[in-house]
């Protein structure tokens, strides 16, 4: 059973105008996401859901199928889930596994996608999402002072002695399609963590993020990846 990847990518972006087609290492973000999906064993078809002609053109050039997203699903307040459910309604067939990929994560390793798909296909998990381990000490302001959130402020554990927590990267979510349709949200049933490398676990939200990704691209893009293979067309 091959999975289907959907990459929602609307045209409007307040923090970084034109973000989804912004180049990192000379490659538009949307094209990088498509390349990762196309290189992953287990993904049969790749779709981009967009309201933007420039994104659509870049997506087709990178080998993806394009879904025209209605304007009401491309606003600042529209959820990714709404775009995914729309894509499932208009695309041919009904995939057993849906891979939700975000173009704002420029360094998605196809091997991580493959591992997550295998875990959902085997029945181990209903959902697997990308995350990276963290040992950061979180604090919040409370009553004019600071309060520890995820640790005991009176006891400073060494990194090796503390249990890691996991930060969601936003890069990908692999889901049983039927469960997603029923829940209407990306987390349901048995949720598993797909641990990804910290170096590439970044999301583009600001111009600074884009500059940092450009600096890292030469290092990360040099890593070995799965060889691309042909994908289904509708």
How many CA atoms, within 13 angstroms, populate the side-chain half-sphere of residue 27? Answer: 21
Rounded Cα distance, 19 and 21, in Å:
5
156 flagged as catalytic? yes
Query: Between β-strands 191-195 and 127-134, what pairing exists: parallel, antiparallel or unpaired?
Result: parallel
Question: Of 156, 181, 190, 223, which is the active-site residue?
Answer: 156
- DSSP 8-state symbol, 135: -
CA-to-CA separations, 34 to 9, 15, 77, in angstroms, rounded: 11, 22, 25
How many CA atoms, within 13 angstroms, populate the side-chain half-sphere of residue 71? Answer: 0
Which amino acids are annotated catalytic?
A: 156
């Amino acid at each position: 059973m091959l999975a289907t990847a959907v990459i929602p990518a609307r045209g409007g972006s307040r923090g970084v105008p034109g973000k989804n087609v912004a180049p990192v290492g000379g490659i538009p973000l949307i094209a990088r996401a498509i390349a990762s999906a196309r290189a992953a064993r287990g993904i049969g078809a790749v779709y981009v859901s967009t309201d933007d002609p420039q994104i659509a053109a870049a997506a087709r050039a990178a080998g993806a199928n394009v879904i025209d997203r209605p304007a009401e699903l491309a606003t600042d307040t529209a959820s990714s889930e709404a775009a995914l459910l729309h894509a499932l309604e208009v695309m041919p067939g009904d995939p057993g596994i849906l891979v939700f990929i975000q173009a704002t994560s420029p360094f998605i390793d196809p091997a991580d996608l493959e591992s997550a798909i295998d875990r959902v296909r085997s029945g181990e998990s209903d959902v697997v999402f990308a995350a990276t381990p963290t040992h950061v000490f979180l604090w919040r302001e409370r009553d004019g002072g600071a309060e520890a959130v995820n640790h005991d402020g009176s006891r400073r554990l060494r990194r090796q002695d503390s249990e890691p927590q996991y930060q969601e990267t936003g890069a990908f979510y692999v889901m049983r399609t039927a469960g997603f349709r029923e829940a209407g949200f990306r987390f349901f049933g048995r949720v598993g963590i797909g641990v990804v490398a910290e170096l590439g676990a970044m999301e583009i939200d600001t111009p600074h993020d884009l500059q940092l990704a450009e600096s890292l691209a030469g290092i990360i893009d040099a890593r070995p990846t799965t060889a691309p293979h042909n994908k289904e067309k509708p």
